[in-house]
Amino acid sequence: MTSTAYRTCPLCEACCGLEITLEDGRVKVIRGDRADPFSRGYLCPKGTTLGKLHDDPDRLRRPLVKRDGRHVEVSWEEAFAAVDRGLTPLLAADRNSVAIYLGNPNVHNVHAAFAVRPLVKALGTRNVYSASTIDQMPKHVAAGHMFGHPLAIPVPDLDRTQHLLILGANPVVSNGSLATAPDWPGRLKALRARGGRLVVVDPRRTETADRADEWVPIRPGTDPALLLAMIHVVFADDLLDLGDAAPHVTGVEVVADAVRPFTPEAVAPFTGVDPDRIRRLARQFATADRAVAYGRIGTHTVPFGTLAAWAVDVLNTVTGNLDRPGGAMFAHAAHDPVRRPPRRFRTGRFRSRVRNLPEVLNELPVATLADEITTPGEGQVRGLVTVAGNPALTAPDGGRLERALAELEFMVSVDPYLNETTRHADVILPPPSVLERPHYDLQFQSLSIRNHARWSDPVFPLEPGRPDEFQILSRLAAIAAGMGPEVDTDALAEATLVSMVQTAVTDPNSPIADRDPAEILGMVGGESPFERLFDFRIRTGHRGDGFGADPEGLTLERLRAHPHGIDFGPLTPRLPDVVSDPDGTVRLAPAEILEDLPRLRRAIEAAPSNGLRLVGRRQLRTANSWTHNIEVLVKGKEACTLQIHPDDAARLGLEDAAAARVQTERGSVVVPVEVTDRIMPGVVSLPYGWGHDREGTRLSVASRRPGVNMNLLTSSAEVEPLSGNAILNGIPVEVAPA
């Protein structure tokens, strides 16, 4: 028997709509959903493999507990009892002695979106870590200081811009990040076809640069200097134009002053970009009809990540491109309120124990997790919870972090694989496969280039007796709160809903202000406690039905009636509603960020070093560190190679395909060389996410093509000071024949 199911792909931020053909209860084929108004049939090779992920025999179906150094299958009751025995004494002695690490797939998981926050709250620890500090934290900090909220991140209005400047991102391969747009390749092609210009700044001539009008090679880590010089030119050439944003922006004169020293001549030796070229790039950007700058991993995971994240939006603003079609615009998630309550964004409300690093968004830098585990004293981390994360491979100085994980007294992981990280866990709680859970992009709607809403029901029912991920995380939270492993989590979820309703009816800004809580609770739809929480969230968002206030508005039921999703059209200007700083303006020159300019000036003035610098790269067929166990995605030509320019290769005596040793103070790896002029001289590149050569994992495919872990080379000793982000690009390395 054949049938068809529709759902959003959870593997990357493009959020493509999938059409899944099922035959006899199994996935037969996955195609792009052509009826999806947002993705219009686009998908990449990873999206076709959700059935293979579901069927992967290595994917855990039952919990594992470590006994005598080996992981053995146990019942769910035994597993949760083991968690209770491991966590409860630690928490009773000191809440901070238990840390939690939240990995990337949480943001693609609607169950986690509802259940992780209560878990963190129940733990009550300040040792909260996430993939954000090895990724995009600088952008949150810049957005928080400029617009008042760390999630007020403008996205490039791809479909209407006439000039796109991309720095340190390769969306043709990554399909974009902090800018949700299915089919970047097609959208970039359309930009060129309508006469628009694409400029790519990257040490590598990437697949995106191949499609550009211009590739600008840059020395790693120097983008903020390039951007500040471009802003300098905007002021020097009298090209300043704030457009319609003018009444909402303050601090322009301060910026004008601050960029004065950053002349194109001053930054040229540092960036490796010629002064005339910087002037031309700035003028072309400023005089384009509609232009937008967009920066990602290569601009964020570097020593001046927050300055770069800020400078991108300063350039957008001073050229009149903030909040206008074709420029940098703000999406508006259906479940969010019309506007957020005013609040000044702050960091450093508490600090890490060992290195005194400031909190950002209530978390601490992953780069200091190993310090907190290995440094004795009051508040030492002795227990760890990981949810959907693989920091052994993804965090800096992976070698040291793995040694730290081995020292923990207790570790529990919510994860479908026994991998490089979870092999250290005492208990592994496997969630069901993505095809067994619903999907809704709570996070990525706020970062989309069109407003839309899509709900997907599970493709397969849950196997009897298995908890879903909402229930797993809720039970962990109950254990952390001291309620023991057997409490009725459904009743807890319902109690949460009741208290949410009670809060909302007393909030004058809520669409259900002054309503009768009992009436609202009677109207909430959905079958499970999770669905009821979700229905409530959607209906109280700005596109919700407000429980009758707007009969046309969204409910879970209405979302369900649109399996291909609902498109709300292109983004619309909304700056006054976005700004939530108590000043009521966009702060173009936040003191908290400008404070870091002298450090950049010192770096510019120091003589550039001649040594090789390592940068990372992503690959179309793998997602971060965890899809390498899918045969069709990793078979074929060796993918984990060190890219090096022919001049550097010749100088070092390295031939194509020969083995090279790449070395830093932290560690070394041996990897085949790929000699290519697609990388600038002085820079080498390794893909990230590999290194599946560890004992004690259950990754039968990945371990046959392990590759090397580039994070054995990165260091956790320094972080970007404003955001706590790790430094993962521009690493000084030595390369020699192995």
For ligand MGD, the binding residues (CB under 6 A) are 12-13, 103-105, 109, 131, 134-135, 167-171, 173-175, 177, 201-204, 206, 218, 220-221, 223, 296-299, 302, 387-391, 394, 414-417, 419, 431, 434, 469, 615-620, 622-626, 685, 688-689, 710-711, 714, 728-730
The answer to whether 62 and 73 are in contact (CB under 8 A) is yes
- Site size for ligand SF4 (CB under 6 A): 12
Smaller CB separation from Mo ion, 136 or 580: 136
- Which CB atom, from 108 or from 139, has the smaller least distance to ligand SF4? 108
Regarding 12 and contact with ligand SF4 (CB under 6 A), the answer is: yes
For the CB of residue 348, give the shortest distance to ligand MGD in the complex, in Å: 23
Does residue 15 bind ligand SF4 (CB under 6 A)?
Answer: yes
Q: Can you read off the two tokens belonging to residue 538?
A: 């959607």
Of 117, 42, 101, residue with least CA distance to 500 = 117
**What order do you get walking across the sheet with 197-201 strand by strand?**
214-216, 197-201, 163-167, 291-295
Q: Are strands 683-687 and 612-617 parallel, antiparallel or unpaired?
A: parallel
Q: Which is nearer to Mo ion, 135 or 426 (CB)?
A: 135
Site string for Mo ion, 16-35 (x = CB under 5 A): --------------------
Instruction: Determine if 20 is a binding residue for ligand SF4 (CB under 6 A).
Output: no
| Beta bridge partners of residue 386, listed in sequence order | 101, 413
User: Is position 188 an interface residue for ligand SF4 (rule: CB under 6 A)?
Assistant: no
Q: What is the distance between the alpha carbons of residues 428 and 415, in angstroms, rounded to a whole number?
A: 7
Q: What share of the chain is helix, strand, coil (3-state, %, to 5)?
A: 35, 20, 45
From candidates 5, 11, 258, 273, binder to ligand SF4 by CB under 6 A: 11
User: Exactly one of 135, 313, 402, 426 binds Mo ion (CB under 5 A); which one?
Assistant: 135
Give the residue ranges of DSSP H helices in 460-542: 469-480, 489-505, 517-523, 529-539
The yes or no reply on residue 14 touching ligand SF4 (CB under 6 A) is yes
Choice between 96 and 685, CB closer to ligand MGD: 685
Q: Which is nearer to ligand MGD, 131 or 654 (CB)?
A: 131
Radius of gyration of the chain (CA): 25
Q: How many residues does the chain have?
A: 738
CB of 12 to ligand SF4, least distance (A): 3
Q: Is 175 left (phi over 0), alpha (psi -120 to 50) or beta?
A: left
Burial class (CB in 10 A: 0-12, 13-18, 19+), 375: middle
Q: Where are the alpha helices (DSSP H) in 346-450?
A: 369-374, 391-394, 398-407
Whichever of 172 and 501 has its CB closer to ligand SF4, that residue is: 172
Rule CB under 6 A: say whether 173 interacts with ligand SF4. Answer: no
For residue 15, the partner it binds in ligand SF4, Mo ion, ligand MGD, none, with Cβ less than 5 to 8 A by kind, is: ligand SF4
- Ranges of beta strands (E only) in 347-480 are 383-387, 410-414, 427-429, 439-440, 450-453, 455-456
**DSSP code, position 189:** H
196 is in the binding site of which of Mo ion, ligand SF4, ligand MGD, none (Cβ under 5 to 8 A by kind)? none
Using the structure block, give the residue that is written with the tokens 């001053």: 266
Q: Cβ 482 to Mo ion, closest distance in Å?
A: 34
State the angle between helix axes of 223-236 and 597-605 in degrees (0 to 180), rounded to the nearest 10.
100
Closest CB 47 distance from ligand SF4, rounded Å: 2
**Least distance (Å) between residue 163 CB and ligand SF4:** 25
Of 53 and 512, nearer to ligand MGD (C-beta) is 53
Q: Which does 150 bind (CB under 5 to 8 A by kind): ligand SF4, Mo ion, ligand MGD, none?
A: none
Sign of CA dihedral 305, 306, 307, 308: positive
What stretch of H or E contains 633? helix 631-634
Q: Is 72 exposed, middle or buried (0-12, 13-18, 19+ CB in 10 A)?
A: exposed
The nearest distance, CB 337 to ligand MGD, in angstroms, is 27
The CA distance from 598 to 604, in Å, is: 10
**544 binds, options ligand SF4, ligand MGD, Mo ion, none, Cβ within 5 to 8 A by partner type:** none
- Min dist. Cβ of residue 11 to ligand SF4 (A): 4
Nearer to ligand SF4 (CB atom), residue 9 or residue 578? 9
Q: Which stretch binds ligand SF4 (CB under 6 A): 5-13, 67-75, 138-146, 440-448?
A: 5-13
Question: Of 44 and 102, which has the nearer Cβ to ligand SF4?
Answer: 44
Under the binding rule (CB under 6 A), the answer on residue 9 touching ligand SF4 is yes
Which one of ligand MGD, Mo ion, ligand SF4, none interacts with residue 352, CB within 5 to 8 A by kind?
none
171 binding partner (options ligand MGD, ligand SF4, Mo ion, none; Cβ < 5 to 8 Å by kind): ligand MGD
Give the residues across from 360 on adjacent strands.
363
Cα four-point dihedral sign 416, 421, 423, 429: negative
What is the nearest approach in angstroms of ligand MGD to the Cβ of residue 228? 14
636: left (phi over 0), alpha (psi -120 to 50) or beta: left
The Cα 38–Cα 447 span in angstroms is: 13
Output the residue with the shortest Cβ distance to ligand SF4. 47
Nearer Cβ to ligand SF4, position 39 or 714?
Answer: 39
Residue 59 to residue 432: CA distance in whole angstroms: 9
CA–CA separation, 714 vs 730, rounded Å?
10
- Contact segment (CB under 6 A) with ligand SF4 among 4-12, 211-219, 675-683, 714-722 equals 4-12
- Indicate whether 13 belongs to the interface with Mo ion (CB under 5 A): no
CA 683 to chain centre: 25
What sign results for the dihedral spanned by CA atoms 322, 323, 326, 330?
positive
**CB neighbour burial string for 6-25, b if at least 16 within 10 angstroms, e if fewer:** bbbbbbbbbbbbbbbebeee
* Phi, psi values for residue 450, rounded to 5°: -140, 150
H/E run at residue 84: helix 76-93
Shortest gap between Cβ of 58 and ligand MGD (angstroms)? 10
184: partner contacted, choices ligand MGD, ligand SF4, Mo ion, none (Cβ within 5-8 A by kind):
none
- Residue range at the interface with ligand SF4 (CB under 6 A); choices 6-14, 211-219, 376-384, 531-539: 6-14
Q: Give the one entry of ligand MGD, Mo ion, ligand SF4, none that residue 134 binds, where binding means its C-beta sits below a cut-off of 5 to 8 angstroms depending on kind.
A: ligand MGD
Task: Examine residue 459 and tell whether it contacts ligand SF4 (CB under 6 A).
Answer: no
Residue 447 contact partner, candidates ligand SF4, ligand MGD, Mo ion, none, CB within 5 to 8 A by sort of partner: none
Site residues (CB under 6 A) for ligand SF4, limited to 21-80: 43-44, 46-47
What residue type is assigned to position 19 of the chain?
E
- Give the residue with the Cβ less far from Mo ion, 135 or 581: 135
Stretch that binds ligand SF4, among 10-18, 165-173, 400-408, 534-542 (CB under 6 A): 10-18
Footprint of Mo ion on this chain (CB under 5 A)?
135
Residues lying near ligand SF4 in the complex (CB under 6 A) are found at 9, 11-12, 14-16, 43-44, 46-47, 175, 182
